[in-house]
Amino acid sequence: MSASYILALDQGTTSSRSLIVDAHGQVLFQAQREFTQHYPEPGWVEHNPTEIWDSQWATIQEVLSKSTLDPSSFGGIGITNQRETTVVWDRTTGEPVHRAIVWQDRRTGDYCEKLKSNLTVKDDIQSRTGLMVDAYFSASKIRWILDHTEGARERANRGDLLFGTVDSWLIWKLSESTSHITDASNASRTMLFNIHTMEWDASLCTLFNIPMSMLPEVVSSSGQLAQATCFTHPIPITGIAGDQQAALFGQQCFRPGMVKNTYGTGCFMLMNTGDHAVQSTHALLTTVAWKIGDRVQFALEGSVFIGGAAVQWLRDELSFIENAAEIEALAHTVQDSGGVYVVPAFAGLGAPYWNPRARGSIFGVTRGTGRGHIARAILESIALQSMDVLECMKKDSAIAITEMRVDGGAAKNILLMQFQSDVLGIDVVRPQNTESTAMGAAYLAGLGCEIWTSMEELSASLAPQDTFKPSKDKSEMRNKISGWKRAVKAAAYWANDGMKEEKTSES
């Protein structure tokens, strides 16, 4: 049998998955395993790297046995992974020296705040890496492990320790400790990688006190990248990308100006900016989308902190609904939100407002306001926040945007998708195959092992999709948007104790 199947590994924050994809881009089999989340202190989140690998390996075994395919049937393995999560292990024994510090972990927040207070350093880091200084990225997490694990710094200085994001860690295991690599999209999330030279940045390694000998070799996102030798027949690893970039690829946003938005707990928006690393003036992130051959494509990235989480709030705290999907029927019990606006700033506001003090607020409530209005206003707030991020991308890139591709749990909500199209005034396109992230890994791997020979050929295999077109009167939407802006301003006024500010400026 020819090697025409792809094994896609999707290593996420709460579970590991494996999928078998055929040469038509169809998912034939899949398996999933959750693994333990460790919260040793408030704000800390850790994973056991061995458990990550064991769960991933178990899903690989499961799909292989379900499919009865032999390892020689696979042209390549594609890997996509939770980004930024940091693993440090011993080069000789392969033993992790500490549990993985997960992207959500805030333990290095104070250190990053201090670093950021030096504006020259802050700007320098942003211009080299495209990132805002934050505990989210790997650099401060590696530093923390070296500083807080007995003997780790000495071992690292001797060249005995290796660092990797989860892609590197899985490849180290799959290759039986022979390949220490990462792809450019994952490297660009470490805050140690210079996205202009496309190399590890020696001055940043010095700043964070991280020996460069720990860092993996940075390779392309697609091609013959390593060999997984742990099977009865070796399988080449031919695709690697961080989860959001993989979703951008899976949505086939191959050209500048193409955008995808993932509606999960939060919303993650990425826009392809082509060969140009656009530096944001709205505090968006600049990131490597992927490197294929020698060609690098970049993306702008922005996120909405509270997306589907606002629906969870309605379910868990207000008990308006029993499950997330019921919000749609509830929102349909009313014609519109009746002038109600919800600003779900439960954890502050992100782009373009950047107000960490802002808190959730509801405006425009009257005696006639009911659950349906609030439910509708919640859904609208998810779309309006996404609109704000897209506006920043448009301004930063000066690229016109003609459609937005969508995925994630809340993208199932038709009312939300239609409203999103109405407020943006552009088509919102939702593939029927919602596996954008895993498909991105599969596509990169399939290109890398030449199951597909070009991105154009891939586009021909694009799965069927639903398109939501703007259907509302423009002036109605303009009013809606101006009401939203007013609500956000009012929320910020309240959070900033506006009365006090007014008094100070009067005196």
The tokens describing 417, both together, are 């998708």
Q: Is 433 in the site for ligand ADP (CB under 6 A)?
A: no
Q: How far is the CB of 431 from ligand ADP (least distance, A)?
A: 14
Classified as helix, coil or strand, 495 is: helix
Q: Is 30 in the site for ligand ADP (CB under 6 A)?
A: no
Q: How far is the CB of 410 from ligand ADP (least distance, A)?
A: 3
- The Cβ of residue 176 has, within 10 Å, a number of other Cβ atoms equal to 13
319: Cα separation from own chain's centroid: 29
Q: How far is the CB of 36 from ligand ADP (least distance, A)?
A: 17
φ/ψ of 33, rounded to 5, equals -135, 130
- Among residues 202, 325, 329, 462, the one that binds ligand ADP under rule CB under 6 A: 325
Q: Is 15 in the site for ligand ADP (CB under 6 A)?
A: no
The stretch among 92-100, 169-177, 322-330, 462-470 that binds ligand ADP (CB under 6 A) is 322-330
Q: How far is the CB of 248 from ligand ADP (least distance, A)?
A: 16
Whole-angstrom distance, CA of residue 292 vs CA of residue 178: 23
The tokens describing 149, both together, are 């694990």
Q: How far is the CB of 265 from ligand ADP (least distance, A)?
A: 3
Whole-angstrom distance, CA of residue 431 vs CA of residue 404: 11
Q: Is 329 in the site for ligand ADP (CB under 6 A)?
A: no
Q: How far is the CB of 272 from ligand ADP (least distance, A)?
A: 21
Asked if 143 and 86 touch (Cβ cutoff 8 Å), the reply is no
- Over the window 413 to 432, marking each residue x when it contacts ligand ADP by CB under 6 A and - when it does not, the resulting string is x-------------------
Name the residue nearer to ligand ADP (CB basis): 344 or 446: 344
Nearest Cα residue to 80 out of 32, 16, 28, 26? 16
The tokens describing 132, both together, are 């805002």
346 DSSP β-pair partners: 348
- Among residues 4, 48, 312, 433, the one that binds ligand ADP under rule CB under 6 A: 312
Name the residue nearer to ligand ADP (CB basis): 144 or 263: 263
Name the residue nearer to ligand ADP (CB basis): 182 or 265: 265
Q: What one-character-per-residue DSSP string does 294-333 give? A: TEEEEEEEEEESSSHHHHHHHHHTS-S-SSTTHHHHHHTT
Within 133-239, residue ranges assigned H as helices are: 138-148, 152-157, 166-174, 184-187, 202-208
Whole-angstrom distance, CA of residue 191 vs CA of residue 188: 7
Nearest Cα residue to 34 out of 65, 20, 55, 9? 55
Q: Is 344 in the site for ligand ADP (CB under 6 A)?
A: no
- Among residues 393, 410, 417, 447, the one that binds ligand ADP under rule CB under 6 A: 410
Q: Is 408 in the site for ligand ADP (CB under 6 A)?
A: yes
Whole-angstrom distance, CA of residue 136 vs CA of residue 139: 9
Instruction: Give 141's DSSP letter.
Output: H
- Among residues 230, 324, 477, 481, the one that binds ligand ADP under rule CB under 6 A: 324
Q: How far is the CB of 244 from ligand ADP (least distance, A)?
A: 11
Name the residue nearer to ligand ADP (CB basis): 179 or 245: 245
Residue closest to ligand ADP (Cβ): 409
Q: Is 104 in the site for ligand ADP (CB under 6 A)?
A: no
φ/ψ of 226, rounded to 5, equals -170, 175
φ/ψ of 288, rounded to 5, equals -75, 125
- Among residues 265, 286, 381, 420, the one that binds ligand ADP under rule CB under 6 A: 265
Q: How far is the CB of 376 from ligand ADP (least distance, A)?
A: 12
Whole-angstrom distance, CA of residue 445 vs CA of residue 21: 10
Name the residue nearer to ligand ADP (CB basis): 187 or 410: 410
Element (H, E) at 465: strand 465-468
- Among residues 409, 470, 472, 490, the one that binds ligand ADP under rule CB under 6 A: 409
Q: How far is the CB of 416 from ligand ADP (least distance, A)?
A: 6
Q: Could you list the residues that contact ligand ADP (CB under 6 A)? A: 264-265, 308-309, 311-312, 324-325, 327-328, 408-410, 412-413
